[in-house]
A and B are shown apart, each in its own frame.
Chain A
Amino acid sequence: MAVIRDMMPVFELFQPASVEDATALLREHGEQAWVMAGGLDSFDWFKDRVKRPAVVVDLGGIEALKGIESTADGLEIRAMTPLTDVVRHPEVREHYGLLSKAAELVASPQIRNQGTLGGNNSQDTRCWYYRDGWTCYRAGGNICYADTPTSMNREHAIFGADRCVAVNPSDTAPALIALDAKMVVQTADGERVVNAEDYFIGPGIDIMRMTVLQPGDLLTSIRIPSTWAGAKFYFEKVRDRQVWDFPLVNVASAIRVSGGTIEDARVAVNGVAPYPMRLTAVEDAIRGASQDEATAERAGEMAVRGARPLRQNAYKIPLMRNLVKRSIRVEA
């Protein structure tokens, strides 16, 4: 642990007004540069003096990165749109209520005013060992402090661990995956559009990153296709504390039902793996089944198959099973 905490070190602050200026700054400063959206993740790192970037590029002044617009095929939400605006937007509420519900359960009203949709999906993990500045795998070291016989890992992964057992803490990420959202990334080579489920990466791909974003890349907007507009949605977040807390487990589902039969479904959970998990096997299994208790039970059981709990987090197995079950059986 550090000898001092809670006091930001000095850095050079840039506040560009355009995406072009921002990307130019990122290219100029390369790995020295830190991209800051709402600051909720960044300031913790800075104040704890664990991450000490020389340059911080604050995206808060780029108006082009804010706002929600209807498109020919759904909705485009720019990355710096505050979560509160996502929650309140009439079209989000009416057609994509899953996202509005998920965003509303993030943290606290103040944090939702300041935090952005892009930031919520690009934030780092909350593993306390890692955030405390321990030189673990994710911090470039060669050990996972959270996965030992004495580790305190109640909030860690039951799936997808690969040296690192930290989880992705985002509430909106599973909702975006369930809605089949597309993440628009500005790279040095131009714009790249990535499926939401592919935006998040596990430690097997790169143990030091949570998303596909490379230094110099910028998430500029999130496109939600109309495919799932008006479907039956379910979002639930279980957390210790009802305000200002990350999920122990959350679940998002979008289901189309016809005559009691599930025509199609997308289901995703978070808080159980280093990335939000889309449950494709569950989706395949319930497609064509009747929306009843038996199907829901089966979905729940299927969802947790293969889970590998750590010392203190076996409870996540029944919790995830129950949440997936609830997300399937729900009558919207």
Chain B
Amino acid sequence: MANALIGKDFTPPDVRGKVTGRAKYAEDFRAEGMLFCRLLTSPMPHGRVRNIDASAALAMEGVIAILTADEVPEIPAPGNPILTNEPLYVGEPILAVAAVDETLAEEAIAKIKVDLEPLPFTVDPLESLRPGGPNARGSANTVVSGEGLKEIKWTTEDFDAVADGELPMGEPTATWSYGDIEEGFSGAAVVLDETFVTAGTSHHSMEPRTAMAYWQNEKCHIYGSTQSQSFVVPGLARYLGLEPDNVVYVGENCGGGFGSKGAAYPTMVIPALMAKKTGRPVMMRISRAEEYAIGSARPGFQGRVKLGFREDGRLLACDLYVVQENGPNGGFGDMSAAASAISIVYTPVAMRFRGASVLTNTPPRGAQRGPGQNQIANAIEPLFDKAARKLSVDRFAIRRVNAPDHDSRYGANRGAITSAYLGEALDKGAEKFDWQKKQAQSGQRRGSKVIGVGIGQAFHSAGSNGFDGLVRLTPEGKLHIHTGVGNLGTYSYAGTSRVAAEVLKCDWKNCVIERGDSSIGLPWNLGQFGSNTSFTMSRTNYAAAMDAVGKLKEIAARDLGGAPDNYEIGNEAVFRRSNPSRRMTYAAAAKRAIQLGGKFCGHEMADDLNPMTKAAVRGLAGTGLVGVAKDNLPRTGMVPALAAGFIQIELDLETGKFEILDYLGVADCGTVIHPQGLAAQIRSGAVMGFGMASLERQVYDPHYGLPRSVGLYQAKPPSYLDVAVGMGAEAVDQPDPQNPMGTKGIGEPLMGCASAALLCAISDALGGHYFNRSPVLPDMIINAASQRPQSHTPLQVNTD
């Protein structure tokens, strides 16, 4: 039977508030007697606090308190601290000041004397690996999975490669392999050995990570800016030393996170700790400049890859080495994610990965949309074009021949996958974009302008399982869908909530999504990150709705006779299959559930539910028919989200500027559950990708370690005039077999495929000039077009 809701457009309930301005973000909340808190942050990339003299600040009328690192819970290294006496990057919070207003708090900060001892620092990972090179953290310069902080220095001989413009490859901190790469290279028709650099990027979340907090009795109430809802609570509780039950978290809307607000983060609890100290509610608004420091960042790569291709373009062997710019703390696993992405997007017959994650005195690194996968798409996709030129193979064909199928294996462990339709995405894209025709236009000149075309591909794992679903039918005849996933702005919280309505065959008008406040009873759900929501939450909502269906049938059988199996649902009623007039409306069933008590209305529940879900159900018990269940559906493989992007540009050889003439993104996201939401993701992901490929910069003066970009006008995320007017959005729309609705996530690769496609098109317009670098900025294009050397060396970072 065709779906009534899944695959159909709808207006998510938070849209109206966002359009009218009524939607509440963290800084819109107020509480009686609220103080404002501001941060004193590090002016240097690495230092040690010798003394703090706040006497003049505290003597000011209206200045209530300061909070220093000595007064907050210590986060074990290499975790991101709440406040610190040894700042490891410019802008790291050292202390907070609370006052009756912000201006006063700021004036107070100006009066605080912090005696900081400058310490050695580095903003270039390779410099830190050199013998005698600076360490970002004194005794350590790397973070090794399973071992923690460690010092690693390479030899002078290792660095001989730099003279040839090649990445030195000393002792790695991580490595894995499968197959025989040497055999692959020896049998290859073309072998490329390329050094590349991909720059780190800021998150540019439009809403900075503001938070407000107060305490009532033993409970701490926090209003924050996060992508996730339930997932944030245990993290906040750990920071505060509380039981999760004693944290009330409100996160109704999130003005962008892109991975940087997936979980609880340390600055969120500063107002909570200040509120505890002062006994008053505290608001801490974060400024744009602060956001560029504490707002997380994607790590940059200095990498080298050896690729061996068969005559038809099949990738026989891949040998990847990545030096990752780790930031000063724990960082994120981009480099190994990058390697795993290669294993599934290009399915090399044999592969080896080696990497070293090197500490830098730059903002802490964290997940950013397609962490690792999108950097490596930028590095590898243009090299596929280079190989295609050498092999005289079509650029579409070299991708198609390497595309994964459902039996392809993933990553170091060669694990199974649930489904892969990248080949179909390429086919659909080629047809809808008219690749053959557009490719034929490649190199066409119009004055100083030349046409370039490109294809890009990207991947991210896109689904999890084992979380809880919770729905409630009330005597008013409404279906309340309780979702704890969060609302990062993609509307997938709503799209996946409709799965429950679909299963229960409810009119969407009679559905209410309960979300955004942990005190209203929300289930334990995974955070809204990792492109997982569509897969994970459609399963939990399916499980909860099926539980509700079972209970409806049981109640009907009890009151109307027969066995539960004799009953069906439809038109918001449960009825006897053989005699549909024997029916009970959902409203009536909800009333009966309350009368019956026990499991029907939430007084009893399954043991395997998470304690957070159990607490939510206890709070809701007796208010209706409660459907609640853990997602115990089977999952036997990694869930791949795959995407292909097709682009045509016109590049002006005299100015280094280009115009995007056409773009098409094609998603392999399983069954499409919300077409408008998907199209918005395909297009906005592409916009973000164009920025990564050709505009954004997050760079540090190498001599002083100070950030060059602390404002949106300096960091340059794309504007509406930098993208194509109309961008196409398509989906393969083939169901994933391990999701009851057939759906998979997709958000992250939609950025990488666009970014990589654009880089390929720029190189194509330049007749096959490969930069081995992202972003490619106009100055680089002008230099290439006028046969001038670039102003940076091949491995240089912070190239402005």
- Interface of A with B (CB < 8 Å)? 1-10, 44, 48-49, 108, 128-129, 132, 145, 148, 150-155, 236, 238, 240-245, 248, 311-316, 318-319, 322-323, 325-326
By the criterion CB–CB under 8 Å, are B791 and A314 in contact? Answer: yes
Q: Is the CB of A10 within 8 A of B103?
A: yes
B38 engages A312 (CB within 8 Å): no
Of the candidates A10, A154, A244, A322, which one forms a contact with B654 in the assembled complex, judged by CB atoms under 8 Å apart? A322
Q: How far is the CA of A314 from the CA of B44 in the complex (A)?
A: 30
Partner pick for B40 among A3, A6, A236, A238, CB 8 A cutoff? A3
User: What chain A residues lie within 8 Å of B102 (beta carbons)?
Assistant: 7
Kindly state the separation between the CA atoms of A132 and B714 in the bound complex, as whole angstroms: 12
B722 touches A4 (CB 8 A): no
Q: Which of A238, A311, A312, A314 is B656 in contact with, Cβ under 8 Å?
A: A238
On whether A7 and B43 interact (CB within 8 A), knowing A1-B706, A312-B800, A315-B656, the answer reads: no
A313 touches B778 (CB 8 A): no
Partner of B90, one of A1, A151, A155, A316: A1
Taking CB atoms, residues of chain B closer than 8 Å to A242 are: 719, 721-722
Are A148 and B703 neighbours in the complex by a CB distance under 8 Å? yes
Q: Cβ of A9 and Cβ of B722 under 8 Å apart?
A: no
B288 contacts across to A, CB distance below 8 A: 6
Q: Is the CB of B655 within 8 A of A4?
A: no
The answer to whether B701 and A150 touch across the interface, beta carbons within 8 angstroms, is yes
Assess A314 versus B783: contact at CB under 8 Å? Given A7-B106, A242-B722: yes
Please name 12 further chain A to chain B contacts, defined as beta carbons within 8 Å, in addition to the given A7-B287, A152-B701, sorted by A numbering: A1-B90, A5-B287, A6-B288, A128-B714, A132-B710, A150-B701, A150-B702, A240-B716, A245-B713, A245-B716, A322-B448, A325-B654
CA distance A1 to B722 in the complex (A): 31
For the complex, give the distance between the alpha carbons of A318 and B106 in Å.
Answer: 46
- Say yes or no: A4 contacts B38, CB within 8 Å: yes
B residues 250-264 in Cβ contact with A at 8 Å: none
Q: Is the CB of B706 within 8 A of A132?
A: yes
Q: Report the separation of the CA atoms of residues A145 and B706 in the bound assembly, to the nearest whole angstrom.
A: 12
Instruction: Output the residue of A148, A150, A316 with the most chain B CB within 10 A.
Output: A150
A241 in contact with B695 given A4-B40, A318-B786, A319-B655 (CB within 8 Å): yes
Per-residue contact bits, chain B 130-142, to A (CB 8 Å; 1 contact, 0 not): 0000000000000
What is the CB-to-nearest-CB distance from A56 to chain B, in angstroms, rounded to a whole number? Answer: 15
Report the minimum CB–CB distance from B798 to chain A (whole Å).
7
Q: Which chain A residues lie closer than 8 Å to B91 at the CB level? A: 1
Contact of A244 among B701, B708, B719, B777 (CB under 8 A): B719
Q: Is the CB of A322 within 8 A of B655?
A: yes
Contact pattern, B 89-117, Cβ under 8 Å of A = 1, otherwise 0: 01100100000001100110110001000
Which of B290, B702, B791 makes the CB contact (< 8 A) with A315?
Answer: B791
B623 close to A (CB within 8 Å): no
How distant is the Cα of A153 from the Cα of B114 in the complex, in angstroms?
31
Q: Contact check: which of A145, A154, A318 meets B800 at CB < 8 Å?
A: A154
- With A241-B716, A248-B778 in contact, is A152–B798 under 8 Å at CB? yes
Residue B799 lies at the interface, judged by CB distance under 8 Å to chain A: yes
Cα distance A44–B799 when bound, in Å? 25
A236 to B657, CA, bound (A): 12
Q: Mark B788-800, 1 if CB is under 8 A from A, else 0.
A: 1001100000111
Please give, as numbers and ranges, the residues of chain A lying within 8 Å of B103 by CB-CB distance. 7-8, 10
Chain B contacts of A3 at CB under 8 A?
40-43, 94, 109, 114
Q: List 16 A-B contacts (CB under 8 A).
A: A1-B43, A3-B40, A3-B42, A6-B289, A7-B38, A128-B708, A150-B701, A152-B800, A240-B777, A244-B719, A245-B713, A312-B779, A312-B791, A318-B785, A319-B656, A322-B655
Contact with A along B690-706 (1 / 0, CB 8 A): 00000100010111101
Query: Are B44 and A1 neighbours in the complex by a CB distance under 8 Å?
Result: yes
Contact A2 B43 (CB under 8 A): yes
Least CB distance from A292 to B in Å reads 15
Q: Closest residue of chain B to A300, judged by CB?
A: B654
Contact of B722 among A8, A241, A314, A319 (CB under 8 A): A241
Contact A5 B788 (CB under 8 A): no
The closest CB in chain A to the CB of B786 belongs to A318
Query: How far apart are the CA atoms of A153 and B703 in the complex, in Å?
Result: 13
| B39 at the A interface (CB under 8 A) | yes
Among B94, B656, B708, B779, which residue has the most Cβ atoms of chain A within 10 A? B779
Q: List chain A residues, Cβ under 8 A from B798.
A: 152
Which residue of B has the minimal Cβ distance to A4? Answer: B109
**Size band of the B side of the interface?**
35 or more
Contacts of A248 in B (CB 8 A): 778-779
Name, among A48, A49, A155, A248, the residue most crowded by chain B CB atoms within 10 Å (CB to CB): A248
Q: How far is the CB of A80 from chain B (nearest CB, A)?
A: 23
Instruction: For the complex, give the distance between the alpha carbons of A193 and B452 in Å.
Output: 51
Complex interface: chain B residues within 8 A of A4 (CB): 38-41, 106, 109-110
Q: Which residues of A contact B713 (CB under 8 A)?
A: 244-245
**Is A243 touching B721 in the complex (CB atoms < 8 A)?**
yes
Q: Is the CB of A240 within 8 A of B783?
A: no
Nearest 8 A/B pairs, CB to CB: A6-B287, A243-B719, A242-B721, A322-B654, A315-B779, A5-B289, A318-B786, A154-B800
A151 CA to B779 CA, complexed, in Å: 16
The yes or no answer to B677 lying at the interface (CB within 8 A) is: no
Known contacts A4-B40, A311-B791, A243 near B657 by CB under 8 Å: no
Please, which residues of chain A bring their CB within 8 A of the CB of B448?
322
Checking B106, B695, B791 against A313 with a beta-carbon cut-off of 8 angstroms, the contacting residue is B791
Option from A6, A7, A44, A152 in Cβ contact (under 8 Å) with B708: A152
CA distance A326 to B288 in the complex (A): 39
A45 to nearest B CB, angstroms? 12
The answer to whether B783 and A243 touch across the interface, beta carbons within 8 angstroms, is no
Bound Cα distance from A311 to B710, whole angstroms:
22
In the assembled complex, which residues on chain B have CB atoms less than 8 Å from the CB atom of A244?
A: 712-713, 719
User: In the complex the two chains form, is A241's CB within 8 Å of B719's CB?
Assistant: yes
Determine the chain A residues whose CB is within 8 A of the CB of B289 once the complex forms. 5-6, 48
Contact A10 B107 (CB under 8 A): yes
Asked if B235 lies at the interface with its beta carbon under 8 angstroms from chain A, I say: no
Whether B708 contacts A312 by the Cβ 8 Å rule is no
Q: Give the distance to chain A from B318, nearest Cβ to Cβ, in Å.
A: 33
**Taking the complex as formed, is B718 at the interface, i.e. its CB lies under 8 A from any CB of chain A?**
yes
List residues of chain B with CB within 8 A of the CB of A323: 654-655
Kindly state the separation between the CA atoms of A44 and B288 in the bound complex, as whole angstroms. 12
Could you tell me if B782 and A315 are in contact, using CB atoms closer than 8 angstroms?
A: yes
Closest to A244 in B: B713
Q: Which of B282-327 contact A (CB under 8 A)?
A: 287-290
Contacts of B699 in A (CB 8 A): 152
Q: A238, B657: Cβ atoms under 8 Å?
A: yes
Residue among B287, B654, B656, B710 with the highest chain A CB neighbour number at 10 A: B654
Q: Could you tell me the distance in whole angstroms from the C-beta of B799 to the nearest C-beta in chain A?
A: 7
Question: Which residues from chain B contact A145 at a C-beta distance below 8 Å?
Answer: 701, 704
Q: How far is the CB of B588 from chain A (nearest CB, A)?
A: 56
A4 CA / B109 CA spacing, docked (Å): 8
CB-defined interface of B708-733 with A at 8 Å, one 1/0 digit per residue?
10111110101111100000000000
A149 to B782, CA, bound (A): 22
Give every chain B residue within 8 A of A240 (Cβ-Cβ).
Answer: 695, 716, 777-778
Choose among A10, A236, A318 the residue with the greatest number of B CB atoms under 10 Å from its CB.
A318
Residue pair A9, B107 in contact (C-beta under 8 Å):
yes
Q: Is the CB of A154 within 8 A of B287?
A: no
A243→B687 CA distance, assembly (Å): 14
How far does the alpha carbon of A5 sit from the alpha carbon of B707 in the complex, in Å? 13
Which residues of A lie under 8 Å from residue B656 when comparing CB positions?
238, 315, 319
Contacts of B780 in A (CB 8 A): 315
Residues of B within 8 A of A312 (CB): 779, 791-792, 799-800
| Bound CA–CA A4/B39 (angstroms) | 7
Q: How far is the CA of A128 from the CA of B707 in the complex (A)?
A: 10
Identify the closest chain A residue to B291 (Cβ). Answer: A6
Q: With the chains together, A9 CA to B798 CA distance in Å?
A: 32
Cα–Cα, bound, A49→B720 (Å) = 31
**Which of B44, B695, B714, B791 counts the most chain A CB atoms within 10 A?**
B791
Are the CB atoms of B701 and A9 closer together than 8 Å? no
Q: What are the residues of chain A within 8 A of B710 when measuring CB–CB?
A: 5, 132
